[in-house]
Amino acid sequence: MSSAAPVLKIDNLHTYYGHIHALKGISLSVEAGEIVTLIGANGAGKSTTLRTVSGMVRPRQGAVELRGKSIVGLKAHEVAALGVGHVPEGRRIFPLLTVRENLEVGAWNVKERSQFDERMDQAFTLFPRLKERVTQKGGTLSGGEQQMLAIARALMADPEVLLLDEPSMGLAPVLVEAIFDIVQRVNKEARKTILLVEQNALMALEIAHRGYVLQTGEVVLSDSARSLMVNEDVRKVYLGEH
């Protein structure tokens, strides 16, 4: 990847939930155009890392920089305004709003009608299924369609970095493949830099450029995705091989 400063840089990050030390000095970086994945067991600190980056949780110590500018201490809407989109675990779409209304909520920073229409067109190019469901309420969509809507809604703000938290959770295997294909298209066609948290480590490593392995709030291994896929410890612990 490029030798320029990373789009996103985390250095010595310590985050607590009350007295629980959730992140214990995590450091990582994401270069422009990359998909970087965080893998690890439940409770390893993956989702907490995303929440800390997006301003939902405030760290007690450490640095988070977007294009070299500190975003630590900013509120979630301020981080979003600087170019960080967050698709949280569990999708969190608005079930009583239509697909179109959900996308309109995502386009909070759009001022011109022409720009809104352009972003809607881009969303429907990436997610043709949503175009077919544009007047349906979000709560009536299938799990896979809701995940598409959650990603499309985040893209409506045209973020520079997209944080994806467990996009395949709860989906049927055939839909899991579709969602990972979409993540790749968002990276390549929409040219989005992505930090991906995913329980399905094998699928995540297949589409990522690089990965970090988290264990009880610490980075214990980082390498190219290909190298992690052939790492014996990773294969045993996270890819289900014995």
Condensed to tens digits (0 to 9), the pLDDT of residues 131-158 reads 999 999 999 999 999 999 999 999 999 9
Question: What CATH number should be reported for the domain whose range is 32-43+77-237?
Answer: 3.40.50.300
Q: In this model, does residue 170 exceed pLDDT 70?
A: yes
Give residue 115's identity as a one-letter amino acid code: Q
How buried is residue 64: exposed, middle or buried, by Cβ count under 10 Å (0-12/13-18/19+)? buried
Q: Quote the pTM value.
A: 0.93
What does the pLDDT look like over 65-88, one tens digit per residue?
999 999 999 999 999 999 999 999
Domain boundaries, the chain: 32-43+77-237
What does the pLDDT look like over 180-206, one tens digit per residue?
999 999 999 999 999 999 989 999 999
pLDDT (0 to 100) of residue 91: 79
pLDDT (0 to 100) of residue 242: 53
How buried is residue 103: exposed, middle or buried, by Cβ count under 10 Å (0-12/13-18/19+)? buried
